[in-house]
């Protein structure tokens, strides 16, 4: 197996594979949305599907480390909902935060701020891409996205 680096991926690649993983989630686990299960249950299942599309990378939920040190932003401990990275290295690819629709706007804004910080080229973590996933809890269980790159929203759908 060849090792891929973060520079090997385009936004189109990452977006396509995330879309495929989320479609897998919708096909097999939409019941988690239907019963309004905790967001962590949904993000765990999405992470499982993401692993299939990002072989050779670690896909972790609630990962709170940078090497052996705690992961922090602005002095506060943080743990993104899902990250795609290589453990014990500085190779980060995608940081994902997820929220159920209808939740607190303050929490949504906090996630947006974190994604902007995680994706800054000049920042500490330098994730090439960030993604906010908003999970609808009503039929047809729509899933909305906000994509981040270099600290800015680059696409909403």
Q: Which pLDDT tens digit goes with each residue over 33-84?
A: 999 999 999 999 999 999 999 999 999 999 988 888 888 888 889 999 999 9
Taking phi first (over 0 means left), then psi (-120 to 50 degrees means alpha), and beta for anything else, what does residue 3 get? beta
Residue 2 — pLDDT band, cuts 50, 70, 90?
very low
Alpha-carbon gap, residue 76 to 92, rounded angstroms: 20
> Any idea which of 70-79, 82-91, 123-132 has the lowest mean pLDDT?
70-79
Contact 116, 132 (CB under 8 A): no
- Joined together, the tokens standing for residue 68 give 């052996």
| Whether residue 137 has pLDDT greater than 90 | no
Cα separations in angstroms, 135 against 38, 91, 112, 120: 11, 28, 15, 25
Q: Which domains does the chain have, with CATH numbers?
A: 6-156 (3.90.1570)
């Amino acid at each position: 197996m060849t090792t891929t680096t973060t520079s090997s991926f385009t936004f189109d690649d990452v977006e396509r594979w995330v879309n495929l993983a989320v479609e897998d989630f919708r096909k097999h686990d939409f019941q988690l949305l239907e019963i309004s299960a905790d967001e962590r249950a949904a993000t765990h299942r999405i992470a499982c599907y993401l692993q299939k599309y990002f072989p050779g990378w670690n896909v972790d939920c609630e990962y709170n480390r940078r090497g052996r040190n705690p992961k922090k932003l602005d002095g506060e401990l943080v743990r993104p909902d899902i990250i795609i990275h290589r453990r014990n290295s500085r190779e980060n690819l995608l940081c994902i935060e997820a929220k159920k629709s209808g939740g607190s706007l303050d929490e949504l804004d906090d996630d947006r701020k974190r994604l902007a910080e995680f994706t800054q080229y000049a920042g500490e973590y330098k994730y090439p891409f960030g993604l906010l996933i908003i999970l609808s809890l009503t039929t047809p269980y729509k899933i909305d996205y906000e994509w981040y790159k270099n600290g800015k929203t680059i696409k909403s759908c």
